[in-house]
Amino acid sequence: MANTVVTGSRLQGKVVIVTGGGSGFGAAISRRFGEEGAKVILADINVEGGQKVAAQNPANLIFQQMDVTKADDWMTVVELAFSKFGRLDVLVNNAGTTYRNKPTVEVTEAEWEKVFNVNVKGIFLGTNVFMPRLIQQGQGGSMINISSTGASRPRPGLVWYNASKGAVSNATKGLAAEYGPHNIRVNTVSPLLSGTALFPMFTGMPDTPENREKFIGNVPLVMKEDL
């Protein structure tokens, strides 16, 4: 029998899809949701990473290979939720990408298209499948879109990435207004930066403790050990 890793029960009985669940923020979200009792389908284009995360809590986490830019993959992952668990409650649109921090005029058309396809089109496709099924289910639910501080405070070197996240934040507000009457909440979470595989892409420098410290100083939060 598979081991179940549970530390709480806030999400007991909930079924969640997390895109980009094989690494970084997505892996952490998937693990935590599973620990809180949710059944999580962690979807990722990276098979090795996704399977590794799912294996940490096999009773509550299952892996599904997925390309968020493909409509058929969205149909497959949503149908999996209903066929395996009989319902769906939450979609976390976490999958995202960027290009390496550099002068804007050096960004290639291929890089631009990849950023907008993954970061924006992925949510567009997910919305078109997720919302009708939740409305049909009739019990409300939640969509959480991972945006970025760059959406509201864009910086040089990542102009088109920031623009893609601006689209995510703007669309989220519209979706919240449109689907609120169906008791479906739509919110964004806007991180600054963390020690994920994209750190060198965002910063243009290696992921080292010294380089991380440069960004920690820009976050107006008090660490618990400083209290």
Q: Record the pTM.
A: 0.85
Find the mean pLDDT for residues 198-218: 63
Residue 99: active-site member: no
Residue 199, pLDDT score: 63
What does 77-127 look like in DSSP terms, one character per residue?
A: HHHHHHHHHS---EEEE-------S--GGG--HHHHHHHHIIIIIHHHHHH
Residue 197 has pLDDT above 60, yes or no: no
Type of residue numbered 96: G
Per-residue pLDDT tens over the stretch 71-113: 999 999 999 999 999 999 999 999 999 999 999 999 999 999 9
Residue 204 has pLDDT above 90, yes or no: no
Residue 160 has pLDDT above 70, yes or no: yes
Residue 1, pLDDT score: 42
Residue 186, pLDDT score: 99
Residue 209 has pLDDT above 90, yes or no: no
Exactly one of 161, 179, 199, 202 is catalytic; which is it?
161
- What the chain holds in terms of domains, given with CATH numbers, is 15-191 (3.40.50.720)
Range of weakest confidence among 60-74, 112-126, 196-210: 196-210
Output phi, psi for 10, to 5 deg. Answer: -65, -25
Residue 99, pLDDT score: 92
